[in-house]
Each structure stands twice: as structure tokens, then as C-alpha cells.
Structure 1
């Protein structure tokens, strides 16, 4: 992994990840679609949990933006508890995979730092052009 784990995610998904807790299964059935239950981890459900609409209001205050119940439903369909990957981590995974496709080996932190050092140590030269 090239990205530090302490990279903050200030996106709406990041706020939802930080604050969303298990909720009653009846809430999912009420606000979502029963056909989507197979897409959702049972770890999200707790009959004693806080209702989704209440959590949406709490997360909206925490995020300083509007977070809807529909967005919470989409989030729980996409992510299991504790498995969320920040947008930075997902982008980095794509770059690491692309690097492997191009060069045939995985890039590691030491190699990436040495490449970055080459760029930082290089000097820019001005070249006279005829136009």
C-alpha cells in the first residue's frame, strides 16, 4: 500500500462510513426495496438499532450537508461494515493495477518514493525554440 491509512476522507461517503451504525431491518424494507435485501450484509441490521431517518439527520449535521435515507440505502448496498475504501484508496488501487499491467511488477512504496525523488531532484532547463 502506497497511501497512508491516516488519509482523511471528507466525502459524503466518508461521513456516512464514519457515522452510520446498524439499524432495524424494517427500516431497510420501508425505505429501500425488499428485493435488495440479498445485496446487503446482515451485519447492518439490528432490531435495537437507530432508525435510518434519524441517522440521516445526524449524519447531515455531522457532514454539514444533506444526507438522505436513499444515500444511506445505497451505501449499505455497496459496502459491508468495516469494508469501505476511501476514494483515494480506490484511485490508488487503480493506479497500482495499471502500473502492474504496464510494467509487469507491483510498485512498492520504496520504488515510488525513489521515482518521486528523481522528479524532485531534476532541474528544469530552458530550451530555445525557433518559434
Structure 2
């Protein structure tokens, strides 16, 4: 059996690098580990951390093809972030002009959660711990 340890990172391709960089660093507060411009690919690669843990690779490529990314589309359903207070986190996103769904409660865990999207429509979730 394969002996996986943990998720190493999530890779995201964005359509507008500066807009997504701003969203993930200034709105969500992820820290930049390194930013690399790969001239041969006309592409940026931005390594981001959450609480000093490497978590996201943000890529830019010229003219990436669109992808369906609704929560029920085939493929990645969503990326979830744990928060301590769902209402204050939702309020912060609303203050940043980010559309956020109403808070729901998981019927099995009784935990609160809500969904919003990144600049390219990638579904993101806040899950209260």
C-alpha cells in the first residue's frame, strides 16, 4: 500500500496573475514564500504558505483554457480553509466585496461552513473548527 503522509500542496492556474496574487495574499492573507517568473513559459509561479506551512502554488500561463468549476462539476469540488469564527470570517470577506453564501450547518458534524469563490470562480470553503 502507498504510504501517504499528508497533502503537500494545491496547484491553481489563474487567468489574471496580479488579481489572483492580490486575492490570495491581501484578502486571504497567505504568505509569499517565493515568486518566480519562468520566461521560457511566460509564466509566474507563486508559492504561498498558511501559518508557515507551504500550501498553494499559484501559476499563470498565457491564455489558459476555461474550466467548469461549480461546486458540483467533475474534478476538484472545492478548497476548504479552517477558521475559528465563521461569522467574523464571512463578515471580513463581505467587507472586501467578496460574495459569500449564507452560513450553513453540516447535519452530520454540526459544524458551520460557507462557500465563496476566488477571482476565477474556484470554489473555496470556510469551515469552522
Indicate the TM-score class for this superposition, using the shorter chain for normalisation.
under 0.3
Higher strand share: 2
> TM-score w.r.t. structure 1 length?
0.24
Higher relative contact order (CA 8 A, sep 6+): 1
